[in-house]
């Protein structure tokens, strides 16, 4: 789970990379935080899509199916 503090740190590292550059440890931290952020967003979208129900013109309702 990504927190607001993690998002702030991602932004701090981004601004620092543009202005002064990052150390190797900071680059690694940035990549780790970015991966966690992306995974959290994917999970959020997946959960949202899993809860969508489509109502057909005939009134029937069904859950959105995964396109496999």
Report yes or no on 42 lying in a domain: yes
Report yes or no on 68 lying in a domain: no
Rounded CA-CA distance 9/20 in Å is 16
pLDDT-derived band at 68 (thresholds 50, 70, 90) equals low
Task: Count the helices and strands in the chain (H runs, E runs).
Answer: 2, 2
Query: Does position 16 have pLDDT exceeding 80, yes or no?
Result: yes
pTM: 0.77
Report yes or no on 26 lying in a domain: yes
Report yes or no on 56 lying in a domain: yes
Domain tally, the chain: 1
Residue 36 lies in domain: 4-63
CATH of the domain at 42: 1.10.287.540
């Amino acid at each position: 789970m990504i927190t607001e503090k993690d998002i702030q740190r991602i932004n701090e590292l981004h601004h620092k990379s543009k202005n002064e550059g990052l150390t190797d440890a900071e680059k690694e931290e940035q990549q780790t935080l970015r991966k966690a952020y992306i995974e959290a967003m994917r999970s959020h979208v997946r959960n949202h899509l899993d809860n969508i129900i489509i109502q057909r013109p005939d009134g029937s309702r069904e859950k959105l199916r995964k396109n496999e």
